[in-house]
A and B are shown apart, each in its own frame.
Chain A
Amino acid sequence: MKKGRSFASSHACIAVLAIAWCAFALGLAFELGGDYAVSLATEIVILSLWAVSYNLVYGYLGEISFGHAAFFGVGAFAVPLLAQRGWPFGLALAGGFIFGALFAAAMSVILRRTRGVYYAVLTFVLAQVVYVVAIKWTDFTGGDNGLPVSRPAFLDAPGRYALFTLAIVTLALAALHRAIHSPAGHVIQAIRQNERRATQIGYNTNVYRALTFIISGAFSGIAGALYSPFIRFVSPDVLFWTFSGQVIIMAIMGGSGAFYGPLAGVALFVVLRDAISSWSASGTVIAGIPVARLGEHWPLFMGLLFFLIIVFEPAGLVGIFGRMRRGWVTAAAHAGAVRGRRSAKSNPGSNLEERR
């Protein structure tokens, strides 16, 4: 990131890689698993956007938010609620963005002076308020019974919706990537490293903190707005704090130190959840064999994995990739040294290394 040129090319490289990866994953999903795999891939794509926007606050600003389900949920509810009032689908999606931003703005006013643990607790409490309002206000949100969500006819096929989602999420990720690598993005990282110093240099850190939170909330809102037409149903479940917990786990498992880390975390989380919980689906659970019954306890396995990652590789999957890549690069450099190739040092390192 030190030289302008490598900065730009790393940008393009990551963007192209991400798109290629997604296209490849979707293609593979169609090839191997049919519609169901496509729906898993869609879920991964949508949750990826959520996890990356969450990571703006967690990884870049360095604050733990336990309330991001609120923005996701508000976005998810925005679509059916706006559609009921005659808004076209595209505008309803934009409504997810707007309402996510508005809720985040309102919260950031309250969060202005809080840091650390208090930040975590306050985000948790505020998000739970949104949940409680949603579950009690049955006339508006359907309460626990939720609301059905329809898609426009041209997006009805799972493959079409997957592509649509992929397009929107790619654009959103590109925007987020641009934002976080802008000068303002660097201020945010400076705040994480040393807020007092950032203040001394002359930045109004409160403004930057609020801005991060609002952008994060807005993009979480889009993710939510894509999610409810995907499931075709929304209930206050998506506002509950355990849902916020999921995004934290996904971001940390993937690696909060890198922009694309949460993507890996989401993919691992969704695929693993599906794989383990389908152990019980083969019918063996009925026979009462304890091994098959373990499928119901997929959170146990997820928790164990989460624990192992935190203990052995806090940088998450990205950290593991980084290790593998370092090993590979060193080996290559070793071999290349004879032929005079460039050394591992000049190879652009992973984001994680840059940020350390």
Chain B
Amino acid sequence: MTTRNETSRRRALKALVATGAASFAGTLGVSRVFAQGNAPIRIGVVLPLSGAYAAQGTAGARGIQLLAEQTNAKGGLLGRQVEVLVEDSQLKPQTAVIKATKLIKQDGCQFLMGEISGASTLALLEVADREKTVMVTPYSSPEAVTGTRGTRYEFRTYSNAYIQAAIAADYVTKNIGKKWGVMAADYAYGQDYSKHLHRFVPKLGGEIVSEAFPALGTTDFVSHLQQASSGNPDVLWMVEYGRDATVALNQAASMGLKSKMAVGLAVANTEQVTGMQPGVFDGTYSFVMWYPNADSAASRAFVKAYYDKHNGYSEAAGIHYIGAQVLFSAIANAKSTDADAVIAAMEGKTFDTIKGPILLRAYDHQAVQSYYIGKGATTKDFPIPIYEPVKTYAADVVEKDFMPPADPKENPVRWRQKS
């Protein structure tokens, strides 16, 4: 009896192995081809919908969705509908990679957009490169994205740490004061940013008198703020983003630092200052790419459409909308969803967006555009606290003086070196 039992078990196992092997072998080498024709153009979006940047990620996804809806209402792109598929990266690079792979391989997305976290963006570059999928990064700062870790398939419509630091250094040193106190988040972005400040500030005759490096996700900045504001600096510049920026700015205000020195944040963002008291926000400086109070008809139309749909104002949504505008126009110009055709339609071309023209530099695929230094204000003209432009840096000035040069020695680009 035992023998019979053994044999039947063995036979079952054999059958199991055989089924597995057969089904495996049967599909080896079969690549999945997605129908072209009138099938929708699919844009895969990977953003953090949970975790510390959830507010920005959700708003960003809404921005891209809004443009897709508007485009579809006008007949779509190349006569095809645009479908936006959003996946949550959970603010983890590994998850971002898995989700992006899913969007491309399973859902058949021809294009990729994301991320906010620098680490996730850099991880996504490997996916874009491997899958030969054009990727647009609307909202991520590491220079490596369009530099040492860049790929031919990646285009960034945002600024980077170099640009942000160069413009901040220029404005502050020339207009506010020469003594800097710097508080930078202790991770790659904050370290890069502060490295650049150390380069630019002394060149302009300024000096960094005090520095502090709080960890990412710090909840009590008081000791760091004390350290960064020691030595009586003229400005306290906080290289923090998101929730950290909210907490840091609130604590700086409650410590009374705002009455002793100018206070600024490395980048502007509506989500990080939402619900802030006017006494905290007003008068603080920031580096701005676009803000909901931007003074142009196209921008006002976007802000209104977004408000009608989501009953709010969001900088992150606008920035992602801009990134999507660039990608959609490029697809329209290329008259194709083929990656090489779209790259050719993007490299060195200028695109009209709600913030004005954006040029995608051919050398490294980094956007060339105007920026401004803004000063926080609560006005009657706009329902939320805004950054009023105090100095605008035009695109040509930015390209000439405030960007990493298009030079392989000073600004090596990975994919340029390969070929």
* A residues in contact with B106, CB < 8 Å: 33-37
Instruction: Identify the stretch in A96-104, A139-147, A307-315 within 8 Å (CB) of chain B at 4 or more residues.
Output: A139-147
Q: Does A175 make an interface contact (CB < 8 A)?
A: no
**A20 x B13 contact (CB < 8 A):** yes
| Chain A nearest Cβ from B306, distance in angstroms | 12
Are A233's CB and B88's CB within 8 A?
A: no
User: Using an 8 Å CB-CB cutoff, how does the interface string of A178-190 with B read, 1 for contact, 0 for none?
Assistant: 0000000000000
Q: A144 near B119 (CB under 8 angstroms)?
A: yes
Residues of A within 8 A of B397 (CB): none
- A223→B35 CA distance, assembly (Å): 38
Q: How far is the CA of A138 from the CA of B87 in the complex (A)?
A: 29
Please classify the interface of chain B as helix (H, G, I), strand (E, B), loop, or mixed, using the class held by over half of its residues: helix
Contact A135 B187 (CB under 8 A): yes
Q: A34 near B186 (CB under 8 angstroms)? A: no
Q: Which residues of B5-56 have CB atoms within 8 Å of chain A's CB atoms?
A: 5, 9, 13, 16-17, 19-24, 26-28, 32, 49-50, 54
Q: Which residues of B contact A305 (CB under 8 A)?
A: none
Annotate A268-298 by CB proximity to B: 1 below 8 A, 0 otherwise.
0000001001101111011010000001110
Question: What is the number of residues of chain B that contact chain A, defined by CB distance less than 8 Å?
Answer: 59
Q: Which residue of A lies closest to B4 (CB)?
A: A341
Select the stretch in B91-99, B166-174, B250-258, B276-284 that faces chain A. Answer: B91-99
The answer to whether B93 touches A235, judged by C-beta atoms less than 8 angstroms apart, is: yes
CA distance A136 to B83 in the complex (A): 40
Given A144-B187, A296-B88, the answer on whether A30 and B27 have CB atoms closer than 8 Å is yes
Q: Quick check: is B102 within 8 A (CB to CB) of the other chain? A: yes
Assess whether A23 is interfacial by the CB under 8 Å rule.
yes
- Contact flag A27-B102 (CB < 8 Å), given A142-B188, A143-B188: no
B65 contacts the other chain (Cβ, under 8 Å)?
Answer: yes
CA distance A107 to B9 in the complex (A): 44
* Bound CA–CA A74/B28 (angstroms): 33
Q: Return chain B residues, CB-CB under 8 Å to A52.
A: none
Total contacts A to B, CB within 8 angstroms?
153
Given contacts A20-B20, A235-B93, contact A281 B86 (CB under 8 A): yes
Q: Is the CB of A36 within 8 A of B101?
A: yes
**Which residue of chain B has its CB nearest to the CB of A277?**
B88
A36 to B87, CA, bound (A): 14
**Which chain A residue has the least Cβ–Cβ distance from B92?**
A237
A16 within 8 A of B: yes
Does the CB pair A31–B90 fall under 8 Å?
no
Most B CB within 10 A of own CB, among A34, A278, A281: A281
Are A35 and B28 also in contact (CB < 8 A) when A144-B119, A280-B86, A286-B86 are? Answer: no
- Interface check B84, CB cutoff 8 A: yes
Task: Tell me the chain B residues, 201-219 only, with Cβ under 8 Å from chain A.
Answer: 216
Residues on A with C-beta less than 8 A from B83 are 283
26 A-B pairs within 8 Å (CB atoms) are namely: A16-B13, A17-B13, A24-B20, A26-B20, A30-B27, A31-B24, A35-B101, A36-B101, A36-B106, A40-B98, A135-B186, A144-B119, A144-B189, A145-B119, A145-B188, A146-B123, A148-B125, A231-B93, A232-B126, A237-B93, A281-B99, A283-B85, A283-B86, A285-B86, A286-B65, A296-B49
